[in-house]
Amino acid sequence: MNTRELGHSGIFVSELGLGCMSIGTEEHRAETILKTALDEGITYFDTADLYDFGVNEKLVGKTLKNVRDKVVIATKAGNRWTDSKDSWTWDASKAYIKEAAKQSLKRLGTEYIDLYQLHGGTLDDPIDETIEAFEELKAEGFIRAYGISSIRPTVIDQYVKKSSISSVMVQYSMLDRRPENQALPILSENGVSVVARGPIAFGLLSAKWREKLAKASKKGLNWYDESELSAVLTKLEKNFAPDRTLNGLAFRYVLHHSAAVVAGASSIEQLKENARAIRETTLTEEEYKWIQDTVKTADYDAHRL
């Protein structure tokens, strides 16, 4: 599988990363999915301290321990579980970020984190202090690079201007093209890599889209109604079938502007299909433009910026 550099970090990741939130907590099943990902050429594994109260990090670290120097492990911080563990609060303070990093290192069983990400962010955060935490962690050798996971162009702009982030993870797909309007130009101009999450758009960009249509249309694609989604997916399928699958097109489309796509996989079959699709699918410049002309975009809601 091809690899690409995250920003100017010297860290190269596979074009397809595994979103580890979907591997579950049963050890054998999780281990099987992670090892299959390795077999398929995936070297980029994305987790977070929030997932399963840290169990996810433990499973990732344990399974990848013997190949640690051959993989890129990314994790995230900023969401803090309450004592009752029935909800979480947001904490982007320097003290919390630095302590969270040390706890993630313990759970992962590693001496360093390749990519450490702020798991969100708002303009009300102590941004300078947050950046200082990441810079100190990098100088101390606990992390190799850092980034943020955010959909807010205003927040992204602040980190691009004030920090040395290598990447921004953003929700981005053929059906959710909002980053193209604001975030992508900012990042491209400053040499910061995009990592796309949600490339399959709640399962709509797959062969099973008809089964998922009614539920997915209510999950954050509110600029479409169900009939519009059905029409555009039918057009995409008709134009590119039978040679290419919707998930293959979905990956290649976002890779036009991204260093990598991060997709979850709850089964071996799904993981292998994603890996096959990304290896075998191509997209010409003309086809990319056809998709842009066919699939409408939207702007971010003002209250979320």
Query: Under a CB-based contact definition with an 8 Å cutoff, are residues 123 and 154 in contact?
Result: yes
Q: What count of other Cβ atoms lies within 10 Å of the Cβ of residue 299? A: 11
Q: What is the token pair recorded at 255?
A: 């890779």
Which among 53, 73, 47, 40 has a CA at the least distance from the CA of 264? 47
Catalytic residue selected from 44, 51, 159, 224:
51
Residue 220's nearest CA partner among 156, 175, 266 is 175
Rg (CA), the chain: 19
Rounded to whole angstroms, the Cα distance separating 146 from 244 reads 35
Active site residue 51: yes
Catalytic annotation, residues = 51
